Amino acid sequence: MRAYFHDDLPGDERLPHDTGRSVSTELLKSLGVLHWSVPVDDKGEWEEEIDTIAKDRDYKNRDIIEMSRELLGDSYEEKLQKFLFEHMHEDEEIRYCLGGSGFFDVRDHSTESWIRIHVVKGDLMVLPAGIYHRFTLDTNDKMRTMRLFKDVPKWIAHNRSAETDANPHRVEYLKHFPSSRTTEAV
């Protein structure tokens, strides 16, 4: 996983949009974003480590999803645009990348800047409930991920709006992570 500030320039969001300003693990943690590197191997040894993390964090359910141009065909662009709209969830978003790669952008609420996180095979990432974020594949146009859930699998996006700003999960997020900025770059 590599994190950096997004350049906010128009253009294909599947491109890096890299400012060259890296973001530290500490800054990500101050936003509530967690990360583990769990290499995917052919022997399946990664499953034991994922099971341990799931048990420690009380994740009870999981599924596997795949997104690719080839798999989605004509609906590919529409799906990609849907995920690019800034939104939040009322539950943690947990993704373990089994193959491919993509970008999760999280909003630094202290500055309104986007932080781009490039997720590749072996990255496990947790976004807290209430954080504004968005997702896109990179130019490889495919990603296979395991989603983990604390309860019944669900995925409800609440697009950013005044109403969503007042959502109790968003309000709680801001209380728990009031100021994300002490240092900008690594």
Q: How would you write the pLDDT of the chain (186 residues) with one tens digit per residue?
A: 999 999 999 999 999 999 999 999 999 999 999 999 999 998 889 999 999 999 999 999 999 999 999 999 999 999 999 999 999 999 999 999 999 999 999 999 999 999 999 999 999 999 999 999 999 999 999 999 999 999 887 779 999 999 999 999 999 999 999 866 544 444
* Centroid of chain to Cα 161: 20
CATH of domain 2-6+13-176: 2.60.120.10
Residue for token pair 């993704």: 95
For residues 90 and 150, is the Cβ–Cβ distance under 8 A?
no
Which residue type does 103 have? F
Residue-level pLDDT at 180: 60
CA–CA distance, 104 with 89 (Å, rounded to integer): 14
For the entire predicted model, the pTM comes to 0.93
